[in-house]
Amino acid sequence: SHSQADETQLAEPHLGAVLASAGLDAEYVRAEGNTLYQRAEDGREIPVLDYAGGYGSLMWGHNHPTIVAYAKELLDAGVPVHSQFSLHPEAAELALALSRIVRRESGYDEPYFAVFANTGAEANEAAVKHAEMDRVIRLGALLAAVDDGLTEAREAVRDGSAIIPDEVFARVGMGSRVSDTAALNELVHHITTHNAAQAGRPPVFLTPEGSFHGKLVSTVQLTHNEGYRNPFKALAAQARFVPLGQPGALRKIADEERAQLLGLEVVDGLVRLTEHEAPVVCAFVLEPIQGEGGIREMPREFVEEIHEVCAELGAPVIVDEIQSGMGRTGDFLAGTRLGLRGDYYTLAKSLGGGLAKISVLMVRSSRYQGQFELIHSSTFAKDGFSNRIALKVLELLEADDGAAYRRAAELGDRLLAMLGSVRDDYPDVVKDVRGRGLLLGLEFHDQSGAPAAPVAEAARAGLFGYLVAGHLLRGHRLRTFPTASAPDTLRFEPSLLLSDDEISWLETALRDTCDIIRGGYQRPLALP
Ligand code: PMP
């Protein structure tokens, strides 16, 4: 019962208790680069090396001096921060800069329109809403065209210029009939009933197994993790999760969801039945490299299948680059190396430079529905402060002919080589290391049969990674976490400021952890 609540602990105390149970209830008083500082009882600062990197929001580290200085400058100058419903030249500049980069990397030679939002999930919600708006418009146009055909057939039968052959009746299950107005009315009734049922089907989203697209009402239904998704199933459109590594699986699922509308046309004095593919699949949504799903890159063949199937369905490809984008993998977009072409892109996290909350939905111009802008907005979206901070972040990324991208790739190679050496020395402990650039993961072998009861228990509850995170924090002053939906995989998402010392620090911590695991926990993990 919460009736006896401790009134000093009203900000999600349950979460605090869960963190405490793994020894992760740390308080930080200052942050800089890849370091968070705790305050010791004697007042000294205790540095903690941060490999969680704000879950991907800190490509430039905590409080990057250039970004902080610029933020101060903006505030000192009194730039308008909240001026919703006015012209925002800096937003236009930001949209243009984003569009140029996305155009350069996506392979689509057209501009991308930008709709700004505040969080990652919110940008994905906007993507979902825009895709649904577009689907309903396309469906409406199709129904109107079908209606025109029905009217034309009705008039032709009425004035005797066309007859309805038996096979048309047969195809809607009517049996043999005289071609007269009564039969035509019944035929049209069959068709419109069928069409209403097909057009009324709820939209379906397709997304790979392991996906994470946020925790808001519609996006949580695109998030594979059942713990997050199942309690809210009834609130929003459903996704079908496409297994990875099974060529043809996407096509099979897409075919199961296909719907046909029926229509009539008149050709050479005969009424004929027509079929029209109705858009039921609203969009395919994916992360080029899944973050919360355990740092998993999409296979190239899968990307090709996605392009093909979506082109057939007329459904947009929504590329969620919220965690993988903003230069983290060595390109602005992680999908670039995969040849992925998105109709929509979403960005957030590092777009705000670690200081601002900003996200964006970008839509390729030929698929953009301008009316969307009039029915979707937020008090906080597109604010003058965040827009300018994001522009500064893009300027930093693109400076010196993309030096930051090259740096991310090179640092990532070094970090991955270190992780690989740990895996090679502890193949019995480490199952895999993977990822690209500064988006890396290390997966442990399953510990649910571990000789230490608390460890085995935690592993069975999907919490092994949190025990390791607790050990790394208390034993090594190093902060990271498992990925949200793959709890045996630790994430490493440091900033561009990563140093060799920081790589060695992680290596020491990981080798110590692997020694403990290999030794059957005779020397224990630093449990609370
Ligand atoms: N998409 C992806 C790929 C993410 O990694 C995340 C956050 N982990 C989100 C969406 C949701 O972003 P936010 O937490 O800002 O809502």
What are the residues facing 444 on neighbouring strands?
Answer: 430
Residue to mutate (ligand 1; options 116, 125, 212, 351; most atoms within 8 A of CB)? 212
pLDDT of 206 higher than 70? yes
Ligand 1 centroid–CA 345 distance in Å is 13
| pLDDT tens readout for residues 63-100 | 999 999 999 999 999 999 999 999 999 999 999 999 99
Average pLDDT of 110-114?
A: 98
pLDDT band at 179 (very low <50, low <70, confident <90, very high): confident
The CA-CA-CA angle for residues 307, 144, 268, to 5°, reads 95
C-beta of residue 244 within 8 angstroms of C-beta of residue 208: yes
Mutate which of 128, 211, 213 to test ligand 1's pocket (most atoms within 8 Å of Cβ)? 213
Average pLDDT for residues 389-417, to the nearest whole number? Answer: 98
Ligand 1 center to 525 CA (angstroms): 30
With the most atoms of ligand 1 within 8 angstroms of its CB, the residue from 59, 116, 322, 380 to mutate is: 322
Closest residue by Cα to atom 5, ligand 1, is: 323
Q: What is the pLDDT of residue 120?
A: 98
Between the CA of 54 and the centroid of ligand 1 the distance, in Å, is 11
> In the prediction, which pLDDT does 528 show?
76
Lowest mean pLDDT among 16-25, 190-199, 275-284, 312-321: 16-25
Q: Is the pTM of this model over 0.90?
A: yes
Indicate which atom in ligand 1 lies nearest the CA of residue 122. 16
What is the number of the ligand 1 atom nearest to the C-alpha of 349? 15
Tally the residues of the chain.
528
What's the whole-number mean pLDDT along residues 114-126?
98
- pLDDT confidence of residue 78: 98
Q: Give the pLDDT score at 8.
A: 80
Over 70: is that where the pLDDT of 2 sits?
no
- Give the position of tokens 């990324």: 397
Question: Which two three-digit tokens encode residue 411?
Answer: 């640092």
Ligand 1 atom closest to residue 216's alpha carbon, by position in its atom list:
16
pLDDT exceeding 90 applies to what percent of the chain? 94
Using CA atoms, how far apart are residues 214 and 198, in angstroms rounded to an integer?
A: 29
Residues 225-245 pLDDT 10s: 999 999 999 999 999 999 999
Task: Calculate the CA 277 to chain-centre distance.
Answer: 28
Answer whether residue 405 shows pLDDT above 60.
yes
Nearest ligand 1 atom to alpha carbon 348: 15
Looking at the chain, the whole-number percentage of residues with pLDDT higher than 70 is 99
**CA 291 / ligand 1 centre spacing (Å):** 9
What distance in angstroms lies between residue 316's CA and the mean position of ligand 1's atoms? 20
Ligand 1 centre to CA of 121 (Å) is 6
**Interval between CA 45 and ligand 1 midpoint (Å):** 31
Q: Mean pLDDT score of the chain, rounded to an integer? A: 96
pLDDT recorded at residue 3 = 63
Read off the DSSP letter of residue 12.
S
Q: Which pairs count as long-range contacts for 19-26, CB under 8 Å and 24+ apart, including other chains?
A: 20/528, 21/528, 22/463, 22/466, 22/467, 22/469, 22/470, 22/528, 23/470, 23/471, 23/473, 23/474, 23/526, 23/527, 23/528, 24/466, 24/469, 24/470, 24/473, 26/473, 26/479
pLDDT digits (tens, 9 = 90+) for 347-361: 999 999 999 999 999
Residues 249-299: pLDDT tens digits? 999 999 999 999 999 999 999 999 999 999 999 999 999 999 999 999 999
What is the rounded (10 degree) CA torsion for 67, 124, 231, 200? 170
Indicate which atom in ligand 1 lies nearest the CA of residue 211: 3
In three state form, how does the secondary structure of 174-223 look?
CCCCCCCHHHHHHHHHHHHHHHHHHHCCCCEEEEECCCCCCCCCCHHHHC
- Amino acid residing at 177: R
Spell out the residues 6+ positions from residue 34 whose beta carbon is closer than 8 angstroms to its own. Answer: 49, 50, 51, 53, 61, 62, 494, 495, 497, 498, 499, 502
Residue nearest atom 1 of ligand 1, based on CA coordinates: 213
| Residue of 211, 229, 285, 323 to mutate, ligand 1, most atoms within 8 A of C-beta | 323
- Residue nearest ligand 1's atom 15 by CA: 120
Mean pLDDT computed over 12-41: 94
Ligand 1 pocket at CB < 6 A: 55, 119-121, 124, 212-214, 287, 291-292, 320, 322-323, 348
321 touches 347 (CB < 8 A): yes
What ipTM is given for this predicted complex?
0.99
**Residue 512 corresponds to which tokens in the numbers above?**
């110590």
**Considering only CA atoms, which residue is closest to atom 13 of ligand 1?**
120
Element (H, E) at 55: helix 53-56
DSSP code for 365? G
Whether 273 contacts 291, CB under 8 Å: no
